[in-house]
Amino acid sequence: MCGIAGWVDPARPVEASTVRRMTDTLAARGPDDAGLWAGPDACLGHRRLAVLDPANGQQPMLTTDDRDEAVIVLAYTGEVYNHAELRLELERLGHKFRTDTDTEVVLHACGQWGSRAPERLNGMFAFAVWDAPRRRLMLVRDRLGVKPLFYARHGGGVLFASEPKALFASGMVAPAVDTDGLRDFFASVRTPGRSLFTGVREVPPGCLVLVDHRGVRERPYWTLAARPHADDLPGTVDRVRGLLADITDRHVRADVPIGALLSGGLDSSALAALGHRALPLRTFSVDFAAPFVPDRLRATPDAPFVRDMVAHCGFDHRDIVLDSAALTDPTVREAVVAARDAPATGNMDASLYLLFKAVREHSTVAISGESADEVFGGYPWFRDPVSADYPWRYLTGRSGTYQALLRADVAAELAIADHRFAHYRQALAEVPVLPGEAGRQRRMREVFHLHFTRWLPDLLDRKDRLSMAVGLEVRVPFCDHRLVEYAFNTPWSLHTFDGREKSLLRAATVDLLPPSVTSRVKAPYPVTQDPAYDQAIGEQARDLLASPNAAVWTLLDPSRLRGRLSRTPDQATRAGIDFALSLDVWLRSVEVKKL
């Protein structure tokens, strides 16, 4: 995986030095190489993390005509898992290849099929294609939005990049935040295509953007469709197992060291066990130096289940143990905020960043169980699907704890409850249903669709930003669109046939796992409950309160944060204090438009 940036403007010459500045901000995403291609009205930049054919595959990559002039120019990031099959098809059509990279396959696919090429790709990707003869730019993002891609209009052209910070480096796009962006953030919703920043669009998942003399046009090349499910229970379990086996086999292919994130839960354990059959995997888990304390979300620690998996499968395993000094280090908080171009969400972001940083010392690529809960209905609220709000209303965080810290005038201006309700109605209107579908089955289709389009994108963005900030490629096999489409159209009665969460995933992989893992109750990603952590962030919050001109007070009420500090530490209190500290870091680097 890599980072891309560029500038296209048919109305004026573009400056390569500008795109070089943009690309330089993405150095962490691509520490192995840098490249730039410049034409009179287009310039594409690239930072490379070499995963396939490291000795070759430098980008931007291009095809040329008989006069050695550029025809198709590609800046690409991601992995296309069916590149071998596509290569054979393209070779039969007369295409010649110089490398073993998936990048070159995408390049020739775009030359052969144009804007229909993305439909043929299976993977996680974001790329820009400049068609020089037609003077047309095409921006493409994968179906689920695993890889990020942003763009902003400027004059008669467009600037684009893997991350907003690269757009800001151009000097032509301001890091400004307006009411719409703040509403989405505090309402804990994600409007497809909208970013936090004024004038910056995110290419929606499953969409492409065309830029030429006719203007800028977004259009989908894939949507999640409702289809009848024909398989019975045994057939469904077999189909899920077959898909998972094929998917994991493709995901563990690389020319660099590859590992797996392992929590001892069903999702990561199933992937690691399947992947280990194809390639001996090194596994990694996160733990904390402080003793585990059970709470309402986590009855048991991960460690015993991780040990059972290691013993059962014979993984080469490493525990990544984090202490509160590292988790509360202000430089770590600043790195996390810089990576996300947004405020961090509690100590989970810091621990993920530190975990990825430690994994990167041993592996260039890691597979993750992210999105299994969305695909197989693993969250508790899937079994209590409220009909008047987003199902994840149960969670504290931006939609509750963070809002409680807002100044009264800011909260009134944002009108978060109204925005959230309108957003929810809009999201429901997009859900595809079968003719005559009603009752519980229709509601569960809505719940799945809401998770895929409004919840999962935020998790994928966090995973991408925090891992790529340390040059680690994290792959998410459960986001394979074939599995997503199949699970989306599987009746809820089959998803819960044994009365538990993720029944199909458990049945499809039960022969690979020890009984302790298959019987384990779902537990979320772990967080520290160390009193030393609470003490450290409390001291930092008091320092913040002693600075009346701190940026954070443009949005938050200091008296409300002070009230948090007077409470007995719990998850919500800790989340609120963490958020105030990271919000202050973020607000120092952005301009908040007058509310």
Q: Give which of 162, 160, 158 is closest to 212, Cα–Cα.
A: 158
Provide the residue type at 29 as one letter. R
Contacts of residues 416-423 at CB distance under 8 Å and 24 or more positions apart, as own/partner, are: 416/183, 416/186, 416/187, 419/183, 419/184, 419/187, 419/189, 420/187, 420/188, 420/189, 420/389, 420/390, 421/389, 423/184, 423/187, 423/189, 423/191, 423/454
Q: Give which of 343, 478, 468, 361 is closest to 402, Cα–Cα.
A: 343
Question: Is 43 in the active site?
Answer: no
Alpha helices in 216-323 (DSSP H): 233-251, 266-278, 303-313
Give yes or no for a contact between 469 and 451, defined as CB atoms under 8 angstroms apart. Answer: no
Compute the distance between CA of residue 234 and CA of residue 238 in angstroms, rounded to an integer: 6
Q: Which two tokens stand for residue 548?
A: 């009346």
Compute the distance between CA of residue 391 and CA of residue 572 in angstroms, rounded to an integer: 19
Task: Choose the catalytic residue: 2, 43, 110, 479.
Answer: 2
Find tokens 């893992």 and name the residue.
517
Q: How many C-beta neighbours within 10 Å does residue 403 have? A: 18
Compute the distance between CA of residue 367 and CA of residue 489 in angstroms, rounded to an integer: 25
Q: Give which of 4, 307, 278 is closest to 126, Cα–Cα.
A: 4
Residues with Cβ within 8 Å of residue 109, at least 6 apart in sequence:
86, 90, 117, 120, 121
Residues belonging to the active site: 2
